[in-house]
Amino acid sequence: DADVTQTPRNRITKTGKRIMLECSQTKGHDRMYWYRQDPGLGLQLIYYSFDVKDINKGEISDGYSVSRQAQAKFSLSLESAIPNQTALYFCATSLNNEQFFGPGTRLTVL
């Protein structure tokens, strides 16, 4: 869905590096989310935000941080990447309960 975009789409990095994943939306939704997806597993919630400057931890927030400086943007950071953070990362927005997902960022940590 072009209304939710993620950059980069693919990234390979090394252990210990700082990485930022960006998410932008043109839907005008207040709520935004970051999930990770591992093979054979469902989506796990990392962080979510219900408004600008509002930040809430999800199921697996350790090792991650987020920033919501504007309604349209929600960024996810890995301060010091480790190999078990290799996964597919999805950003989503929501209106009421329906969520709209971005195309995903495939992150590989060597």
Partner 1 sequence: GESVGLHLPTLSVQEGDNSIINCAYSNSASDYFIWYKQESGKGPQFIIDIRSNMDKRQGQRVTVLLNKTVKHLSLQIAATQPGDSAVYFCAETRNDMRFGAGTRLTVKP
Q: Where are the beta strands (DSSP E) in 14-102?
A: 19-25, 31-37, 43-49, 56-57, 65-70, 73-78, 87-95, 98-101
Q: Which of 13, 77, 101, 108 binds partner 1 (CB under 8 A)?
A: 101
Name the segment binding partner 1 (CB under 8 A); options: 16-24, 40-48, 63-71, 78-86.
Answer: 40-48
Which of 11, 20, 27, 45 touches partner 1 by CB under 8 A? Answer: 45
Contacting positions for partner 1 (CB under 8 A): 1, 4, 33, 35, 40-45, 48, 58-59, 90, 92, 97-104
